[in-house]
Amino acid sequence: MVWTRSIAFLSFSLLFIHIGAVSVSRILLLGDLQVSLLVHTSHLLYLCFFQIKRLAKGNARDTDLEQKDISEINLAAGLDLFQGDILLPPKSRNGLRDPTYRWKFPIPYILADNLELNAKAAILHAFEMFHLKSCVEFKPYAGESSYIIFQQFSGCWSQVGDLHVGQNLSIGLGCDYKAIIEHEILHALGFYHEQSRTDRDDYVNIWWEEIIPGYEHNFNTYDDTFITDLNTPYDYESLMHYAPFSFNKNESVPTITAKIPEFDAILGQRLDFSAIDLERLNRMYNCTSTHTLLDHCAFEKTNICGMIQGTRDDADWAHRDSDQPGQTDHTLGGRCTGAGYFMHFNTSSGAAEEAALLESRILYPKRKQQCLQFFYRITGSPSDRLTVWVRRDDSTGSVRKLVRMKTFQGDSDHRWKIAHVTLKEEKKFRYLFQGTRGDPQNSAGGIYLDDVTLTETPCPTGVWTIQNISQFLQSAAQGDRLHSPRFYNSEGYAFGVTVYPRGRVTSVDPEHVGLAFHLCSGENDAILEWPVMNRQAIMTILEQEADVRHRMSLSLMFTTSESHTSPAINGSVIWDRPSKVGTYDQDCDCFRSLDWGWGQAISHQMLRKRSFLKNDDLVIFVDFEDITHLRRTEVPTTGRRHSPQGLILHDRESRASGEGSGRAAFNEALPGDLAAGRQKRSVENTGPLEDHNWPQYFRDPCDPNPCQNKGLCVNVKGTASCRCVSGHAFFYTGERCQAMQVHGRVLGLIIGGTAGAIFMTFVLGSIIFQRSRQ
């Protein structure tokens, strides 16, 4: 018994010795790392607390997305770039001043596979805006020496101008919005920020005392030797302008305001290109036409855009203005005397079934799909009709073959309506509008046509017009919502849009409209795949400018993911079959899923300032498309590439480091030997790392490498930070990785093994001693 107790006591003692040895060894060995471990542990506890707190708020708020501005995203990523989001090479080149750094079109591009799937599709959507509104063109990379590779580093940033090698453009987390991507591409095309103009102080106030200390350089202006305004006026609406609260130290106090207060609401808009943005772009690159706009007519000129009256019909369309009561155009809404024209076909006289034909000029398509968009109203008999035809090349060179596309019938709603007709023309053609009198005896009006646009882009899948929107904006309570009709995409999935006129219940500002997407049950659900993944939902609040090139519409998009779950449906994916996870809505006789989107998408002030509420209608487009094919888009490259120091390239890591610095220099490297992953020469005797007095932006604190023992140097906010090598048995510590240490578990095993050997020696000795006494 005594022997047994002794063995038990020694075993427990050995156990505590082993635990103590491991603990003490770790305390002794970690040294300075112990502090970082404590900090890391505290950070993990904070993240856990934050996650619990977020979940405690309830599921409804988990579906709220927020569009942050570029400066906010980059500050959160620890970046301090030139002008907030520009990565400059060691010798800055001005894309505006030096023609040799202007791109030749089309610009080759690569979508790196470290990009989020939604970001890839958003980049392609931004390309289409350039194709529609300018002569800028993009094409997939095919071995060219100059190209842009879009990657997910930390933050949103770009380089300026064509550097004549492969160059990076970062679309980091939170940057995957059309307007942000357009902003960064404009930098790549050679443009700086609007508020850096020489004459900036004539138009805006900079509140220097409200800027975060150390970030004042972002508000510098530059003379005409550095940038040029291309002889255009200061543009408060520019996509390249800072937002009012950029780099502010007090979240409720702006750093920049307009000297004309009316422009404060649109300063730093992230909708789309402004008219002056496009004017500068087209001047810089000598643009005379766009790539996907085939035709546009607001009928403001007497030549009616080259359209002709039919010669084999019974009557003609009339070119009218808005002077007569009740006959206002769509373009100007009757606001201007002597302006505001439209085409009109009177259906209150003549014989039934008489027709008038209005034909476009001959058009020459480049793509195989077009979208004809126009506004119309029918104020006569319900039997009046507006029919869209196409006159095609009959393969003899003559445009004469007629094909009917779509007919719009009169009804009791005499308001302006938006219409879309999909065309699939590959040869030269005309489009035609045929007005037909249905019942002249019971007609007191006619057919009106205005603001016709033909683009070589797909038509929207769903179009929802909310009439009398002003009353909803005024009378709705916070949290009230409107559901769209049910739409179907080409795959057969049914879906809809939810609008919150004054935001969600928990929205901070009720003077914003919320916008969200949801699935609906439909007739095809039994054969479709559930949950539906990798589909991008695109919702666009249309600005109803007549000229599509000047529309600053709001487009928001996200991609369905398995991470979109909700406690309200027991943690299920909200993109599962709506009849399973949704709730029944008697208005559509269908189930609607939980919605996902933005609680505050656009302000009421912005809606009223621009042309979003023309004729008191809010028009929303919605699409839902499979983008699974974009999961693998990256291709191998040849030649040189500029590599931003301190930002880990996707070739070395599957994701951006999160510790990249904007004060990064450049290295020219071959793709197989990227600068971000290359070992630099070492410096043994240097002062403290934080004492380096490197000039801002242009020098690299990691060159020469201050880290010893093969430590990797990373540029963190302009300061060198060593990442020390760690093996199975040994690791390195210290500011420069100068001290070699033994892993605690190894030392613990050594001490434990030694103690075990002593114990076994003691046991064997005791046994031998007892036997010798016997």
- Using an 8 Å Cβ cutoff, are 238 and 280 in contact? no
Cβ neighbours of 75 (radius 10 Å): 18
For residues 249 and 532, what is the distance between their CA atoms, to the nearest angstrom? 42
For residues 451 and 332, what is the distance between their CA atoms, to the nearest angstrom? 10
Is 655 contained in some domain?
no
Is 354 contained in some domain?
yes
For residues 644 and 159, what is the distance between their CA atoms, to the nearest angstrom? 10
pLDDT tens profile 658-678: 333 333 334 443 333 333 333
Are 410 and 558 part of one and the same domain? Answer: no
518 is annotated as contributing to ligand binding:
no
Confidence of residue 728 (pLDDT cuts 50, 70, 90): low
692 is annotated as contributing to ligand binding:
no
As a whole number of Å, the end-to-end CA separation of the chain is 18
For residues 717 and 660, what is the distance between their CA atoms, to the nearest angstrom? 8
- Using an 8 Å Cβ cutoff, are 657 and 154 in contact? yes
Is 22 contained in some domain?
no
User: What's the pTM value of the predicted model, to 2 decimals?
Assistant: 0.77
- Using an 8 Å Cβ cutoff, are 98 and 161 in contact? yes
The pLDDT of residue 702: 65
Are 484 and 555 part of one and the same domain? Answer: yes
Is 116 in the active site? no
The pLDDT of residue 524: 97
Is 665 contained in some domain?
no
Are 497 and 441 part of one and the same domain? Answer: no
Is 56 contained in some domain?
no
The pLDDT of residue 744: 61
The pLDDT of residue 712: 74
For residues 239 and 85, what is the distance between their CA atoms, to the nearest angstrom? 14
pLDDT tens profile 113-170: 999 999 999 999 999 999 999 999 999 999 999 999 999 999 999 999 999 999 999 9
Distance of CA 218 to the CA centre of its chain: 23
For residues 154 and 662, what is the distance between their CA atoms, to the nearest angstrom? 9
For residues 388 and 397, what is the distance between their CA atoms, to the nearest angstrom? 22
Are 140 and 275 part of one and the same domain? Answer: yes
- Of the candidates 719, 620, 607, the one whose C-alpha atom is nearest the C-alpha of residue 664 is 719
Highest mean pLDDT: which range of 30-39, 452-461, 765-774 = 452-461
Run of H or E including 644:
strand 641-644
pLDDT tens profile 300-344: 999 999 999 988 888 999 999 987 777 888 998 877 767 889 999
Is 103 contained in some domain?
yes
* Measured CA distances, 336 to 63, 176, 227, 340, 491 (Å): 44, 40, 38, 7, 45
Are 232 and 187 part of one and the same domain? Answer: yes
The pLDDT of residue 645: 56
85 is annotated as contributing to ligand binding:
yes
- Using an 8 Å Cβ cutoff, are 165 and 639 in contact? yes
pLDDT tens profile 229-247: 889 999 999 999 999 999 9
Distance of CA 270 to the CA centre of its chain: 10
- Using an 8 Å Cβ cutoff, are 492 and 580 in contact? no
Q: Which two tokens stand for residue 609?
A: 């300032």
The pLDDT of residue 720: 75
In the listed set 455, 478, 502, which residue is the last one of a domain according to the structure?
Answer: 455
The pLDDT of residue 258: 97
394 is annotated as contributing to ligand binding:
no
- Using an 8 Å Cβ cutoff, are 725 and 6 in contact? no
In the listed set 285, 304, 328, which residue is the last one of a domain according to the structure?
Answer: 285
In degrees, rounded to 5, the angle at the alpha carbon of residue 484 between the alpha carbons of residues 463 and 133 is 30
For residues 139 and 46, what is the distance between their CA atoms, to the nearest angstrom? 45
CATH number at residue 401: 2.60.120.200
Is 482 contained in some domain?
yes
Confidence of residue 63 (pLDDT cuts 50, 70, 90): low
For residues 175 and 188, what is the distance between their CA atoms, to the nearest angstrom? 16
In the listed set 285, 315, 339, which residue is the last one of a domain according to the structure?
Answer: 285
- Of the candidates 534, 483, 516, the one whose C-alpha atom is nearest the C-alpha of residue 595 is 516
pLDDT(684) > 60? no
Run of H or E including 30:
helix 2-30
Q: What are φ and ψ of residue 407, in 5° steps?
A: -120, 135
Domain with 333 in it: 293-455
Angle between helices 2-30 and 32-56 (to 10 degrees): 90
State the average pLDDT over residues 391-400: 93
Count of domains forming the chain = 4
- Of the candidates 596, 481, 577, 463, the one whose C-alpha atom is nearest the C-alpha of residue 520 is 577
DSSP 8-state assignment for residue 115: S
Residue whose token pair is 């929802």: 464
Average pLDDT, the chain: 83
Are 248 and 307 part of one and the same domain? Answer: no
Are 483 and 408 part of one and the same domain? Answer: no
pLDDT(615) > 70? yes
pLDDT tens profile 337-395: 678 899 999 999 999 999 999 999 999 999 999 999 999 999 999 999 999 999 999 99
Are 485 and 550 part of one and the same domain? Answer: yes
pLDDT tens profile 260-302: 999 999 999 999 999 999 999 999 999 989 999 999 999 999 9
Are 444 and 489 part of one and the same domain? Answer: no
pLDDT tens profile 76-128: 999 999 999 999 875 554 445 678 889 999 999 999 999 999 999 999 999 99
The pLDDT of residue 270: 95
Run of H or E including 44:
helix 32-56
pLDDT tens profile 576-593: 999 999 999 999 999 999
Residue 65, Cβ density class (10 Å: 0-12 exposed, 13-18 middle, ≥19 buried): middle
- Of the candidates 270, 254, 271, 156, the one whose C-alpha atom is nearest the C-alpha of residue 208 is 254
Are 451 and 479 part of one and the same domain? Answer: no
- Of the candidates 231, 208, 210, 212, the one whose C-alpha atom is nearest the C-alpha of residue 221 is 208
Are 253 and 318 part of one and the same domain? Answer: no
Are 303 and 444 part of one and the same domain? Answer: yes
Q: Which of 184, 194, 237, 456 is catalytic?
A: 184
Higher pLDDT among residues 58 and 739, named by residue: 739
Is 376 contained in some domain?
yes
The pLDDT of residue 220: 94
- CA R_g for the chain: 33
CATH number at residue 166: 3.40.390.10
